[in-house]
Amino acid sequence: MPTVFEVPRRSVLPVTAEHPDGVPPVPERVAEPRDAATVALVRDGAGGGIEVFLQHRVRGMAFAGGMTVFPGGGVDPRDADASVGWVGPPPDEWARRFTCSEPQARALVCAAVRETFEESGVLLAGTDTATVSDTSAYADARRALEAREISLAGFLAGEGLAVRADLLRPWGHWVTPEQESRRYDTRFFVAALPDGQHADGATTEAETAGWQRPAEAIADAEAGRTALLPPTWCTLADLGEFGSVAEALASSREIRRITPRLVVDGDTVRVELA
């Protein structure tokens, strides 16, 4: 990805009454970023290329209100539960890829699985030999997870399931700029939609949701029809380079920590990736 790129201001910085130029000042006390995980769900599009599952967040939300995003959210302390069933690359391998501790890596992968299920209904779980293909039986568990009434580890254990870490690929590492009062230290993952499963928008955090080609999603942002955070924009641009899901999942990624800096110049924003 380029180290600097320019985009229309309206595509990344929705105007608010508090900050009409879209960029709040850096506060005296910079907020400590909270660990988070985001998953770009992908599937092969008709006629080739990739489609990505995107959600348009409810306006007025404390973070990224009105933006178009991938499913994801903050890590829950219970996501680090070492008793969780696990299939695929072990936590120490994820720790190496994301340059973090093993418990933190376990929590990030579990948060990715949990948030994806809560926000899209897609469950990246199964057994040693099979992936869940029908999630309809887990509708009550989905609501309970979203309400924080149960933990991912407890839910999976009760159903005889395990996290399928082999369905995920590490993709990026982004940190919210210092200007924001809510900041996240987010690891980005990519995962193929499992056979038989259906992604929906049945979450209180999204107004609409659906599948779209990366180039189309970027075109919507450039035209001002939607707004994308810089990490979402860059991830879409990267995924749009692949001809199939298999190509994307097989690609080799260098994961580096990026904190974007946004510089407003009239109707244009220069995004500097540091």
Half-sphere exposure of 114 (CA within 13 A, CB side): 33
What is the arithmetic mean of pLDDT over 214-226? 90
Of 3, 14, 22, 1, the closest CA to residue 263 belongs to 22
Residue with tokens 């190509």: 247
**Contact assessment for residue 206 and residue 118, using Cβ atoms and an 8 Å cutoff:** no
Tell me, yes or no, whether 205 lies in a domain.
Answer: yes
Q: Is the pTM of this model over 0.75?
A: yes
Tell me, yes or no, whether 140 lies in a domain.
Answer: yes
**CA dist., res. 38 & res. 47, Å (int):** 27
Task: Give the pLDDT confidence of 82-125 residue by residue, as tens digits.
Answer: 999 999 999 999 999 999 999 999 999 999 999 999 999 999 99
Give me the chain's average pLDDT, please.
88
Tokens for 122, please give them.
């897609």
Task: Give the pLDDT confidence of 177-205 residue by residue, as tens digits.
Answer: 877 778 899 999 999 999 999 999 777 66
**CA dist., res. 3 & res. 272, Å (int):** 6
Tell me, yes or no, whether 20 lies in a domain.
Answer: no
Q: How many domains is the chain built from?
A: 1
Tell me, yes or no, whether 233 lies in a domain.
Answer: no
Residue 251: which domain range?
Answer: 33-226+243-256
Percent of the chain residues topping a pLDDT of 90: 65
Contacts of 155 (CB under 8 A, 6+ apart): 138, 141, 144, 145
Tokens for 168, please give them.
């995920």
Tokens for 186, please give them.
């987010």
Contacts of 9 (CB under 8 A, 6+ apart): 22, 264, 266, 267, 268, 269
Whole-Å CA distances, 110 to 34, 36, 94, 107, 157 = 15, 11, 11, 5, 13
Tell me, yes or no, whether 117 lies in a domain.
Answer: yes
Residue 76's CATH number: 3.90.79.10
Tell me, yes or no, whether 114 lies in a domain.
Answer: yes
Tell me, yes or no, whether 235 lies in a domain.
Answer: no
What is the arithmetic mean of pLDDT over 167-182? 88
Tell me, yes or no, whether 236 lies in a domain.
Answer: no
